[in-house]
């Protein structure tokens, strides 16, 4: 299958899936779009990898990395969406959009379908690398992936354990990885995208795999990740979170400042 047919069919499947999800659930809880994006990107990555036309074992490796990442992240987000109120980001968006909220949410879901395809492209390009043996890039990519999944899972567990203690309600988590970064989960999510760049950088058009970490860094630090998360934290935790901002790096881990 040609790369253009893969991309077009992937976009069509993602767009239809997002439309159905919007109709069934998304109008009531916009947070499900994050769950859907994770599953969609992972599943598209698997499908793209298995049909990439590269070296078979490398295609299988990339498919496994993409699939496990997507299922882990999607399942984690689903557990949070299912038991908590609608994410404050989507509540604010609906309030701002007013009577047109439902229609504009539909468009927002479709934008996420587009980005699911775009973020699956580095997976596709990595799997297209046809060199008939594993390379140092494959090993480095696997190490990036293991560090990312391990670090993000650990950060999620540490935060969940902190929030499960009623005595800590309203406090700021500074335990474990959260002592060194205000958003270690985002940091390790960003590390994940370097896995496909390492695997596919030597492939034809492999430089495009760098779009994964570059775009993810931009979205996390400037758009949908840190800015709205910290805005809500300042409202709910006030001066305690302002002090956390003064003493702890926002993204890259580092020693706490006095």
Tens digit of pLDDT per residue, the chain (258 long)?
789 999 999 999 999 999 999 999 988 999 999 999 999 999 999 999 999 999 999 999 999 999 999 999 999 999 989 988 888 888 888 988 998 999 999 999 999 999 999 999 999 999 999 999 999 999 999 999 999 999 999 999 999 999 999 989 889 999 999 999 999 999 999 999 999 999 999 998 999 999 999 999 999 999 989 999 999 999 989 999 999 999 999 999 999 998
Residues making up the chain, counted from first to last: 258
Cβ-Cβ contacts under 8 Å for 220 (sequence gap 6 or more): 183, 186, 189, 190, 226, 251
Per DSSP, helices labelled H in the chain are 3-21, 32-50, 56-83, 88-97, 101-127, 136-163, 184-200, 211-218, 226-237, 239-247
Asked whether the beta carbons of 178 and 158 are under 8 A apart, the reply is yes
pTM score? 0.94
Count Cβ atoms within 10 A of the Cβ of residue 205 and give its class: 0-12 exposed, 13-18 middle, 19 or more buried: exposed
Asked whether the beta carbons of 32 and 26 are under 8 A apart, the reply is yes
């Amino acid at each position: 299958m040609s790369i253009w047919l893969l991309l077009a069919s992937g976009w069509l499947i993602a767009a239809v899936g997002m439309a159905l999800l919007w109709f069934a659930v998304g109008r009531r809880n916009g947070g499900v779009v994050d769950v859907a994006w994770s599953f969609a990107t992972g599943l598209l990555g698997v499908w793209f990898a298995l049909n990439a036309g590269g070296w078979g074992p490398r295609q299988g490796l990339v498919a496994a990395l993409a699939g496990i990442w997507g299922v882990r992240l999607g399942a984690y987000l689903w557990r949070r969406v299912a038991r908590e109120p609608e994410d404050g980001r989507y509540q604010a968006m609906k309030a701002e959009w007013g009577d047109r909220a439902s229609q504009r949410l539909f468009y927002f879901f479709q934008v996420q379908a587009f980005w699911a395809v775009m973020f699956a492209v580095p997976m596709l390009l990595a799997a297209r690398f046809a060199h008939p043996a594993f390379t140092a890039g494959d090993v480095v990519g696997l190490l990036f992936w293991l560090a990312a999944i391990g670090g993000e899972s650990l950060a999620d567990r540490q935060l969940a354990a902190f929030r499960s203690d009623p005595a800590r309600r309203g406090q700021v988590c500074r335990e474990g990885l959260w002592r060194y970064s205000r958003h270690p989960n985002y940091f390790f999510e960003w590390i994940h995208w370097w896995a496909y760049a390492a695997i596919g950088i030597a492939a034809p058009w492999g430089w495009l795999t760098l779009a994964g970490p570059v775009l993810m860094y931009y979205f996390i630090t400037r758009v949908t990740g840190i800015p709205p998360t910290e805005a809500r934290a300042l409202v709910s935790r006030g001066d305690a979170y302002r002090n956390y901002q003064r003493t702890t790096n926002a993204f890259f881990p580092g020693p706490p400042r006095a």
